[in-house]
Amino acid sequence: MAVLDRYDGTRWYAANDTSATDFSDRYLRVSSRIDNPAPGEEKLFTFFIRNRWDLPWVPTIGAMQAFEFYDDYASDRLPDLRYNRATDTALLPGGLDVREDYVISAIPVADRLSEKNKPWPTPDTELRDAAAFLDIPARARSLGAKTDMQAVFKIAERLRLRGRYSDGAFGWEREFEAGRDSIRLDEGFVNAPAMVGNDEQYAATMALLANRLGVPARVAIGTELAKNGVIKGKHLDAWVEIRVADGSRRVLETSEFMGHRAPKRDDVRLTPVRLPPERQDEPRPSEQEQPDEQRELEEQPQQDEADEPLPRWPLFLLIPASFAAIPVAKGVRRRRRRSAALASTAYLGGWEELLDTARDLGIAVPPPASTRPARARAPGISPRLAREADVAVFTPTEPVPAGPYWDRIDEQRRRLASRAPGWRIALAPLNPASLFRRR
């Protein structure tokens, strides 16, 4: 979901353009095809958005090679997509709305860390300096390790064995507050009499301790897919990614460094964890301190007025208005498809316009699981148009303008209409089949 690769003493955050010589660590605009080489087999993944996704981070898997919205009406948002090849994360301002489904081609990477892996030889000096406040715990908890990677795992083991887990959401556990600032992670966590936190504190501390040892590490936010494939906000977790000798990032499993036992009052003397003064919440006014204007409004008696029935004659206009809206919606859709910002999107819109014409004329169209040339054969569409759409969508460079292609699409639409019965042609503009088809 997201990768946090910088720490400023208050929080881990996602940085942009951290290297002066490498452009792969920038969030750049991408086309439908991405130059992002990685070892492994390329696979297709489809993401269905069934609830509003407010986060700007676009869920991805592995090293993404291609991105395409499932429906053409959402393809206009593709120019807003930004991708960072160094972290394999994507950004889309405004998040994702319901039914803005998309398909990615990606290479899942081998990402599990073991003690046999050698760390990247060059430490991240900026992160190592940011973790200076954890120097003593880093050295003390890695004693006895023969290699840097063994030291990372030894620290992880001691965090897991000593730590307790709590979200600090209920009852007396509320004294264990959220946050990743140096006070919360030092005196309030790793050096506290009772080391209590959730994956936020564990992952943030573990990544800093590894960097203090000279092993490059960062924090990642995401989830491991369940069998049903459903992802919700509550499923998101934080873990640590370690850079190894070959330059790749390997996951240090959360189970390696996070304790799962719940805290108890009688375990040890519990010290309340408090936020620094600048982060303290402002006290809320009590009910006795309500403004005079608000009290006067509450003291005024409420007068109920009888509701007057609304006239029913406007309801009879809904039926003709709904029929009139269908051709208008189709016209708006056609104009958006043809005037798409990207030429590849305009090609894809022309192909979808042709298939929608066939649906409105009552001609059977194969399901989307088929290839475009296969879908062209059943309704009698020229396979050349399907191949042109494939080339435009999957070519690494932007194709030529789609104006001539749309002219051929319009000619093919007229041919389809000439083979249909007269009553089909007359009712096609009012047929909502292409507007409400199952995606």
Indicate the pLDDT class of residue 35, thresholds 50, 70 and 90.
confident
Highest mean pLDDT (candidates 20-34, 68-82, 202-216): 202-216
pLDDT for position 43: 92
Q: Token pair of 304, please?
A: 């109920």
The answer to whether the beta carbons of residues 211 and 217 sit under 8 Å apart is yes
Which residues are bridge partners to 91 per DSSP?
57, 82
Residue 300 pLDDT exceeds 70: no
Whether residue 123 is predicted with pLDDT greater than 60 in this model: the reply is yes
pLDDT in tens, 137-168: 898 888 888 999 999 999 999 999 888 888 87
């795992």: which residue's tokens? 153
pLDDT computed for residue 425 by the predictor? 83
pLDDT for 219: 95
pLDDT, position 208: 95
For residue 241, the one-letter residue type is E
Q: What are phi and psi of 267, to 5 degrees?
A: -65, -60
What mean pLDDT is reported for the chain? Answer: 81
Burial class (CB in 10 A: 0-12, 13-18, 19+), 7: buried
- pLDDT for res 367: 73
pLDDT recorded at residue 275: 42
Residue 286's pLDDT is 44
**Mean pLDDT over residues 182-196, rounded?**
86
Q: What whole-number distance in Å separates Cα of residue 209 and Cα of residue 188?
A: 15
- Residue 47: the pLDDT is 92
- Between 260 and 298, where is the model more confident? 260
pLDDT at 288: 44
- For residues 415-427, average pLDDT: 83
Of residues 59, 93, 3, 45, the one with CA closest to residue 231: 59
| Whether the predicted pLDDT of 438 surpasses 50 | no
Distance CA 106, CA 167 (A): 34
Q: Which pLDDT score, from 0 to 100, does residue 285 have?
A: 44
- Predicted confidence (pLDDT) per residue in 196-235, tens digit: 888 889 999 999 999 999 999 999 999 888 888 888 888 8
Higher-confidence position of 403 and 311: 403
Q: What is the mean pLDDT of residues 283-309?
A: 47
User: What is the mean predicted confidence (pLDDT) over 107-119?
Assistant: 87
Of 31-35, 292-296, 317-321, 331-335, the poorest mean pLDDT is in 292-296
Please give the average per-residue pLDDT across 393-410, as a whole number. Answer: 83
> Nearest Cα to 238, choosing from 185, 190, 202, 189?
202
Q: What average pLDDT does range 407-430 have in this prediction? A: 85
pLDDT score, position 46 = 92
Question: Looking at per-residue confidence, does 374 or 56 come out higher?
Answer: 56
Cβ(34)–Cβ(68) below 8 Å: no
Q: Give the integer Cα–Cα distance in Å for 214 and 208.
A: 10
| Domain edges within the chain | 1-109, 112-275, 317-430
Phi/psi of residue 45, each to 5°?
-135, 135
* 313 band by pLDDT with thresholds 50, 70 and 90: low
pLDDT at 168: 73
Mean pLDDT of the 388-407 span: 83
Joined tokens for residue 130: 């940011």
Region 326-345: mean pLDDT is 85
| Poorest-pLDDT segment among 134-138, 402-406, 434-438 | 434-438
Of 124, 115, 128, 158, nearest to 140 (Cα)? 158
Query: What's the average model confidence in pLDDT over 413-417?
Result: 86
Q: Which pLDDT does position 427 carry in this prediction?
A: 79
* Contacts for 126 with CB less than 8 Å, ≥ 6 apart: 6
Beta-bridged to residue 46, according to DSSP, are: 103
Q: State CA 222 to chain mean position distance.
A: 9
Residue among 76, 108, 102, 66 nearest 390 (CA): 66
Strands 28-29 and 57-58, by their bridges, are unpaired
Over range 365-380, report the average pLDDT.
Answer: 75
| CATH-assigned architecture of domain 112-275 | Roll (3.10)
d(CA 275, CA 178): 9
% pLDDT > 70, the chain = 82
